[in-house]
A and B are shown apart, each in its own frame.
Chain A
Amino acid sequence: MIFGYSMYKYDPLVIFRPTFTWENYVKALTDDMYVTAILNTFQISLVTTLLALVLAYPIAYYLAKIRNRTEDTVISFIVFAPMMVSVVITSFAWVILLSPYGTVYQLLSALNLISGPFRLMFTKEGIIIGLLYGQLAYMVMTLRSSLERIDWSVINAARIHGASSFHAFYSVTLPISLPGIFAGSIVTFSLSLSSFVAPFLLGGRMVKVLSVVIYDNILSTYNWPLGSATSVVLFVITTISVGLFTYFLQKTRLAWLRT
Chain B
Amino acid sequence: MVPVVVVIGASVTKANYISFPPDLFSLKWWGDFVSTDIYQRSTLLSIQISAASSVITVAIALLSARVLARYKFRGKTILNTMFNMPFTVPQVVFALAALFFFSSMGPILPVHFVICFVVMDLPLAIRTISANMSGLDPDIERAALVLGADSISAFFKVTLPLIKPGLIGAFLFSFLSSFNNTTISIFLSNPRYITLPVVIFQEIEFYAWPSLVAAASFATILSLGIMGVIHRFVGIASMYK
Contacts and interface: CB of A to CB of B under 8 A. Distances in A.
A249 B222 CA distance: 40
Interface in A81-108: 81-82, 84-90, 92-97, 102-103
Interface residues on A, range: 35 or more
Interface in B1-36: 1-4, 6-7, 10, 18-21
B18 A234 contact: no
Given A86-B180, A95-B204, A142-B240, A2 B6 contact: no
* 4 interchain residue pairs of minimum CB distance: A194-B90, A93-B3, A86-B180, A141-B240
Could you tell me the dominant secondary structure of chain B's interface residues?
A: helix
B96 A231 contact: yes
B189 to A, nearest CB: 10
Interface string A125-156: 00000000100001001101100000000000
B241 interface: yes
Contacts of B241: 145
A168 interface: no
Contacts of A63: 237
A96 B96 contact: no
B89 A196 contact: no
B92 A215 contact: yes
A219 B187 contact: yes
16 contacts: A63-B237, A73-B231, A86-B197, A86-B220, A88-B182, A88-B204, A89-B197, A90-B3, A93-B4, A94-B3, A96-B19, A97-B2, A201-B201, A201-B205, A214-B92, A234-B92
Contact of A84 (B2, B3, B201, B227): B227
Interface string B222-238: 01101100010000110
Given A2-B100, A90-B4, A103-B20, 11 more contacts: A63-B237, A72-B237, A73-B231, A81-B4, A84-B176, A87-B180, A92-B7, A96-B20, A190-B90, A215-B92, A234-B90
A215 B182 CA distance: 13
Nearest to B3: A93
Contacts of B90: 190, 193-194, 211, 231, 234-235, 238
Interface in B197-213: 197, 200-201, 204-205, 213
Contacts of A103: 6, 20-21
A7 interface: no
A92 B88 contact: no
Contacts of B1: 78, 81
A89 B220 contact: yes
A201 B204 contact: yes
A90 B224 CA distance: 13
Contact of B97 (A2, A85, A94, A145): A2
A94 B99 CA distance: 29
B236 A92 contact: no
Interface of A: 1-2, 5, 63, 72-73, 76-78, 80-82, 84-90, 92-97, 102-103, 133, 138, 141-142, 144-145, 190, 193-194, 196-197, 201, 211, 214-215, 218-219, 224, 227-228, 231-232, 234-235, 238-239, 242
Contacts of A224: 100
A92 B216 contact: yes
Nearest to A97: B6
Contact of B10 (A1, A90, A96, A227): A96
B88 A190 contact: yes
Contacts of A72: 237
A197 B240 contact: no
A103 B2 CA distance: 12
A241 to B, nearest CB: 11
Contacts of A73: 231, 236
B58 to A, nearest CB: 18
